[in-house]
Every structure is written in structure tokens, then in C-alpha cells.
Amino acid sequence: MSQRVDLRFNDRPVRVPHGVTLFDAASWNGIAIDSTCGGHGTCKKCRVRFKTDPPAPTSLDVRAYTSAEIQDGWRLACRTAATTDADVEVPPLTTRPKAATVGVGRQVILRPAVRKRYLELDEPSLADQATDLERVLRAISDLAEKADLAVLRTLSRTLRDADFKVTAVVSDDTLIAVEPGDTTQRAFGLAFDLGTTTVVGTLLDLTTGTPAAVASMLNKQQPFGADVIARISATMLDPAAAGKLRELAVETLTELASAVCEEGGVRPAEVYEVALAGNATMVHLVLGFDPEAVGVAPFIMAARLLPEVRASDLGVPAHPQARAVVFPAFGAYVGGDITAGLLASGMDRDPRVRLFIDIGTNCEIVLGGRDWLTATAAPAGPAFEGASIRCGMRAADGAIEAVTVTGDGDLKLTVIGDTEPTGLCGSGLVDAVAALADAGLLDASGRFITEDEARIVAPALAARFATIGKERVFVLSGSVYLSQRDIRELQFAKAAIATGWRILLEDAGLTEEDVKQVLLAGSFGSYLSAKSAIRIGLVPGIGTRRIIAAGNVAGEGAKMALLSVRDRAAALALLEEVRYVELSDRSDFNDRFIAELSF
Ligand code: FES
């Protein structure tokens, strides 16, 4: 695990990776320091004072401060690395930085990689023979030092047609476009959460940090199977499938991009950056990498950190020079969507021990806080998506999404779309099993009790037992029922997940009570009843108020990457900080799994 440094900014303690600048350290923690150059060392506004033991001044400090100020501990925050614990004073702001609330209540100070500046340039003359590019770069020396080749194809004409009044568009430190006139108020980015099932696209206004439009749709790869293993298998069986899967992912992203651009009144050429969070398989497929090695032991990805990716590599309609930020994965089964989710939920900044669980066919689990993080993946199977459940269905109209026992001991069902129930989705399944267990209709091993016993322990529910074929079932409503096998499926899924977090806790020398909060990521987490999740042992029994639905944190992380280069860097730093625990390696996994099956 990387070394950390304890800092205090105006008496507020923060813990940051060793070696980051004080400017970045403050910004990551939502503390604003004055700046107009964004940390490039040119504005000299990022004044901070070390209350004790200031580090040696840099050559820029010597130019920015008087010797008395240097003596007094004043330094430029963007030039000073955090190498030892320090108590630092940050003066009140003279300019108000723009900030946006993203992720799980995270305040992000706006510092996108994409920046625009309006320029009124001197026209060339015999006395000023600078080339067109030199002329532009000279005017934005604090922003960019190089240019994309494509800029030069139109630069000369653009400058002259616009009377040398142009807007420079910079991505990181590279000039990517020069536009006629003042377009500084028009800069957009597209954030994608590329899920195996659902894909969400958000169009972000990079000048304000606010979403201009959001849309979601099912991943068009669905016909190739519901989960990543099915899709990888498809590529192994048919050499043409990988190409088709790529096309379908690109089509999905393109449709979403077009929809949000239209809704937001934005031309694709005004989208200068794209961020994408997805699991390792989705990223392999959309970029055209062979996913086979991800699907078979020892589960190896083509790359963890990717070379520069352009929006055009993802097939997304955007400015031709737009870059794409693709979140890196920890491993084949803890992907970039989890890296993005950890960023959005601030797992690496919070001193509390928290548990992050993203429930799906493959369930990703991360435990820890700002000092340490460990992660694992548990094969939960498709029960929560309704795939292996007799009356299972997706969370769509007609699905029973919640089940409670009423005061008179009967059942109350909540159905999506307020229609006749046609099936049971994941959250309804968890509720139904928890309700049956609470009513005493299941024994500890998960088996239905006999009808005679049921008439004694829960008379209002006993009549719901029936036999379909040779199987005993519990009827929820009309044709929707829960079979003994369904309960077994849920037991397997919850046991895999519970084994995962218990192993992480034990490895850290902790118990359930040490967990201060559970964050349930993803859409399933939003619908799951905390009470039922605790009842069946899916999450630690730490009280319902501490079980938090974190929402679409992968998409939120992608938005943060567009709005803040510092948060983007923090996501990369996570790769170094998270220790991965492989469950399939553990000789004790099976015994523990069996122990977790009971309710
Ligand atoms: S932020 Fe501008 S000089 Fe430090």
C-alpha cells in the first residue's frame, strides 16, 4: 500500500498519497485554493502557509514571495509536494472556484481537462514572423505546449477568416482545436456507464459542471447473453461474434450520444471529451480487444492502463480530436466500473471502514477506507436478475419489487407499474424470502416447513403453499410463486457474497461491527430493502440506517473524471492502493460458503 501523509488544511485533517502537490491534495478533499492557471505554476495565486517546518522554497517561491514571507512559511501550493505531515493555512479565496456536487455527495472543484480560451491575436507582420501555431501557443503558454496535427489543417484559414479572434480548445496540455470567434461558453463532455445490461449516457456542461441531458437504454449486446461469460463464450464459439459485439456496443453508445446531444441542443463537435466506465469485458469488447483470456483462468486482461484512447475509437460522435478516458480495472472481475464507483463514493478519502458492494451476476466487494482498501469478486450468479428464478423477471412493469407482511399476517406486494403481477424481480425475491424466514415458514437451512407446521406458525400464510408438478411452492399472487429451488438459488447467491465480505473482514482483523457503512452500488442496490438484505445475511447486520443505496456510482465516477483532472488522477492512484483478494484461490472458500447458506 502506498505511503500516506497527514495534512491539516485550516485545521481540517486529510490523508493524502505521499508526493502529491498540496494543491491537488486540497482539491481532492474539496478544499479550494486560489488559482487561475489550474496548478501550472504560472498564476502565483495558490498561496498557502506552513505553520511549522516549511519545506525548502522552490525557485518559483523565491520569485513569488518576499524573503520575509518565505521565512514565515509561505509557499505555492501547486509547486509543493506533500512529503511529510504538515499543518497548513489556506487564505480565503479571492476568486470563487466553480464546484459541482457529484457522486455520493462529493463536492468536485471544476478543473476539466478540456479548457477554452478566447484570444484576440496580433496579426503577423514583417516584424512579427511567428508562425500561426507559434502565435496561438504563445498566447496560451500556461495551458498548452503542443498541438494536434489536425489543428494545422484548418488553422491558417480559421485565423484569417476570423480576423485572428479565435477560441483555443485545449485538452490536458495539447491544443486540439482553434475555433472562430468566442465559443468559450460551449464545452461539453459525455460520460458513459457501459453496463452489461444497461448503458447510461450523460451530457455534461464542462463550464458549469451540470448535466445537460441524461439517457439510458439496454445494452444492444443482450442477444449474445445476459452476462459477461455468455458474451465471452460467444466470441470463442464464433469468430465473427467479437466484431458483432463491438458493433452493438458502439451502436448503443452512438444512439445514447445522439439522444443526449439532441435533447441538450448540443452539436457533437462541441463534445470535446468522453469518459467511460465499464467492467473489463465490456471495455475489451467495445475497444475490439479479444476477451477470451478474461473469461478463462487465470483471467488475464489485455491491459490495465490503456494507451491514449480517442472518442472515435469508441465510435462515439464527438469532436474529431476528442479524447476518451476509460477507467482502468483492478482485475478481470473488478473492473473500471468499480474504480469509478470507488471514486464517486469517496472510499479512498473517508477514515471510516466502509463496505462497497455492487450486486450483480458477478458481485464486486471492496472493504476499507482512506488508509487501506481490499477488493474481491464473488460469483453470485443470476438470481438477483431473476434469470434462474422460476417466476423471475427483470425489474420492469409487472415485477413484484417489494414484499411485506401486513399487521394481520398476510402479504402486501408492491408491483412495478401498478399492474397485475407477472413475475418477481431481484429486490422482490430478497423481500419474499426475508418475509418467509421472518414468518417462520423456512427453517434455518432454507427449507419450507410442512403445511401442518405452517398452519400453526403463520395461519394467514399457510394456504399459500401449493404443489406445482412435484415441487412445493409458495404462491405470492395468481401465477407468481416462489419455489424451493428459487430459495436455494438465492441462498447460493447471498452465500457467495457474504463469504466474500467476511473473508475481507477477517483478513483485515475486523468483524461486522467494525463496518460503519455499507454502500450498495448499482440500480439493484437502490431497490433492495436494507431490512431484508440484513435479514437474509446478504450484508452485515449493522442497522438499516447504515445501509446506503449509492445509486449509479460508476456513471458518477465517469462524470467526475470529466469535471476534474485531479479526481481522474485519484482514480488512477486507486489502482496502486487497492489490494485484490482472489476467492477461488482460497482453500477455505467452500467450507465458508456452506456455512453462509443458512438464514
Ligand atoms: S495554481 Fe497557479 S501558480 Fe499555483
The minimum-distance atom of ligand 1 relative to the CA of 36 is 2
- Distance (Å, whole) CA 50 – CA 45: 16
Pocket test for ligand 1, best of 46, 65, 143 (most atoms within 8 A of CB): 46
How many angstroms is it from 97 CA to the middle of ligand 1?
13
My answer on whether 305 and 398 are in the same domain is no
Which of 395, 358, 368, 363 is CA-nearest to residue 557? 358
Which CATH number goes with the domain that contains 155? 3.10.20.880
Q: Are strands 211-218 and 198-205 parallel, antiparallel or unpaired?
A: antiparallel
Range of the domain at 251: 188-326
Q: Which atom of ligand 1 is nearest to the CA of 34?
A: 1
- The answer to whether position 41 is within a domain reads yes
Ligand 1 centroid to 194 CA: how many Å? 36
The span from the CA of 325 to the CA of 10, in Å, is 33
Beta bridge partners of 103: none
Q: pLDDT tens track of the chain, all 599 residues?
A: 457 888 999 988 888 878 888 988 887 777 778 877 767 787 888 999 999 999 999 999 999 999 999 999 999 999 999 999 999 999 987 766 677 777 777 778 899 999 999 999 999 999 999 999 999 999 999 899 999 999 999 999 999 999 999 999 999 999 999 999 999 999 999 999 999 988 999 999 999 999 999 998 989 998 998 889 999 999 999 999 999 999 999 999 999 999 999 999 999 999 999 999 999 999 999 999 999 999 998 999 999 989 999 999 999 999 999 999 999 999 899 999 999 999 999 998 888 999 999 998 889 999 999 889 999 999 888 888 777 899 999 888 899 999 998 888 889 999 998 899 999 999 999 999 999 999 999 998 999 999 999 999 999 999 999 999 889 999 999 999 999 999 999 999 999 999 999 999 999 999 999 999 999 998 778 889 999 999 999 999 999 999 998 888 999 999 999 999 989 998 998 988 899 998 888 888 999 999 999 88
What are the DSSP E strand ranges found in 154-244?
165-171, 174-180, 188-194, 198-205, 211-218
Residue 362 in domain: yes
- My answer on whether 168 and 195 are in the same domain is no
Q: Is the peptide bond before 298 cis (omega within 30 degrees of 0)?
A: yes
- Tell which of 180, 211, 229 closes a domain: 180
Does one domain contain both 464 and 390? yes
The alpha carbon of 35 and the centre of ligand 1 are apart by a number of angstroms equal to 5
- Whether residues 30 and 73 share a domain: the answer is yes
The closest of 325, 377, 298 to 578, measured between CA atoms, is 377
Residue type, 244: K
Together in a domain, 127 and 162: yes
Question: Any idea what the CATH number is for the domain that residue 44 is in?
Answer: 3.10.20.30
> Which atom of ligand 1 is the closest one to the Cα of 79?
4
Distance of CA 34 from the midpoint of ligand 1 (Å): 8
What pLDDT, on the 0 to 100 scale, is given for residue 37? 72
Residues 415 and 493 in one domain: yes
Q: Is residue 341 part of a domain?
A: no
Residues with CB under 6 A from ligand 1: 23, 35, 37, 39, 41-46, 76, 78
At 563, phi and psi to the nearest 5? -85, -20
Look at ligand 1, atom 1, and give the residue with the nearest C-alpha.
39
79 C-alpha to center of ligand 1: Å? 8
Of 538, 549, 556, nearest in space to 493 by CA: 538
> Could you tell me if residue 69 is inside a domain?
yes
Testing ligand 1's pocket by substitution, the residue of 63, 78, 80 carrying the most ligand atoms inside 8 A of its CB is: 78
In a shared domain, residues 433 and 513: yes
Q: Which of 145, 180, 215 is the last residue of a domain?
A: 180
Do residues 380 and 231 both lie within one domain?
no
Query: Do residue 513 and residue 591 come from a single domain?
Result: yes
Rg (CA), the chain: 27
Predicted structure pTM score:
0.85
User: Cα dist. 57→53, 72, 594 in Å?
Assistant: 12, 11, 61
What is the rounded (10 degree) CA torsion for 227, 232, 237, 240? 110
Cα 99 to its chain centre, rounded Å, is 19
Is there a contact between 223 and 112 (Cβ–Cβ < 8 Å)? Answer: no
Atom of ligand 1 nearest to the CA of 33: 1
Measured in degrees and rounded to the nearest 5, phi and psi for residue 539 equal: -130, 160
Distance 413 CA to ligand 1 centre (A): 59
| Atom number in ligand 1 closest to CA 44 | 3
Q: Are residues 20 and 119 in the same domain?
A: no
Give residue 23 CA to ligand 1 midpoint distance, Å.
8
Q: 3-state DSSP call for residue 558?
A: helix
Please identify, among 30, 64, 97, the residue that sits at the C-terminal boundary of a domain: 97
When divided into structural domains, the chain yields a total of 4
Sequence-distant (≥ 6) Cβ neighbours of residue 105 within 8 angstroms: none
- Cβ atoms of 26 and 16 closer than 8 Å: no
Q: Are residues 436 and 522 part of one domain?
A: yes
DSSP class of residue 380 equals -
Give 12 Cα–ligand 1 centroid separation in angstroms: 22
Q: How many other CB atoms are found less than 10 A from the CB of residue 488?
A: 16
Same domain, 166 and 192: no
The DSSP call for residue 224 is G
Closest CA to 290 of 329, 249, 236, 330: 236
Strand partners, 224: none
Greatest CA separation for the chain: 103
The answer to the question of residue 27 being in a domain is yes
Inter-residue contact 481 to 391 (CB < 8 Å): yes
pLDDT at 1 (0 to 100): 42
pLDDT, position 403:
94
